[in-house]
Amino acid sequence: MRELRVHKLVLNCCVGESGDRLTRASRVLEQLTGQQPILSKSRLTIRTFGIRRNEKISCHVTVRGDKAEEILERGLKVKEYELRSRNFSDTGNFGFGITEHIDLGLKYDPTTGIYGMDFYIVLKRAGDRVSKRRRCKNSVGKFQRVRKEDAIKWFQAKYDGIVLN
């Protein structure tokens, strides 16, 4: 009941512009996960970057279950199982980025190019649904919540990871 598990893995690939580069980045995410990515819009206009409000600039996909753990394993292998302590949030989630998607085991395609992406992992304990469900909703106890120290211990135990300062 107290052991941690991966609730979901969110892969984000921000291109910074709409058009052909964004569709190629979404194709990369689709090859990696086998799911259709969602396109995200910019919230405001930034003239120096050439971004307009409500322009599609990035794509992301949420993966759950065994597939999430498999993709997370490949991403951590790229980072050589080393993360910084600031990669972990106070609520027990953690994230990191990679610069080249071909390091994950995908074949390089010259027409697609090379894209970097962000990994964000949400860790939960069993029983978290109590706070989310519609009927008989209740708060999660403080010993059932995931903290930063719990997430770091889980990472070090499961993946023999190294957490740097």
In 3D space, the residue among 153, 29, 37, 28 whose CA is nearest the CA of residue 94 turns out to be 153
Q: Are 69 and 48 in contact (CB under 8 A)?
A: no
Give the mean pLDDT of 22-42: 95
Give the mean pLDDT of 62-66: 97
Res 89: pLDDT:
97
The alpha carbon of 93 is separated from its chain's Cα centroid by a whole number of angstroms, namely 10
Residue type, 81: Y
| Bridging pattern class, strands 82-84 and 162-164 | parallel
User: For 84-142, what is each residue's pLDDT tens digit?
Assistant: 999 999 999 999 999 999 999 999 999 999 999 999 999 999 999 999 999 999 999 99
- pTM more than 0.85: yes
Given a cut of 90, whether residue 81 has pLDDT beyond it is: yes
Structure tokens at 89: 């949030």
Res 1: pLDDT:
73
Q: How far apart are CA 99 and CA 110, in angstroms?
A: 17
**Taking all residues of the chain, what is their mean pLDDT, rounded to a whole number?**
95
Res 165: pLDDT:
87
Res 92: pLDDT:
92
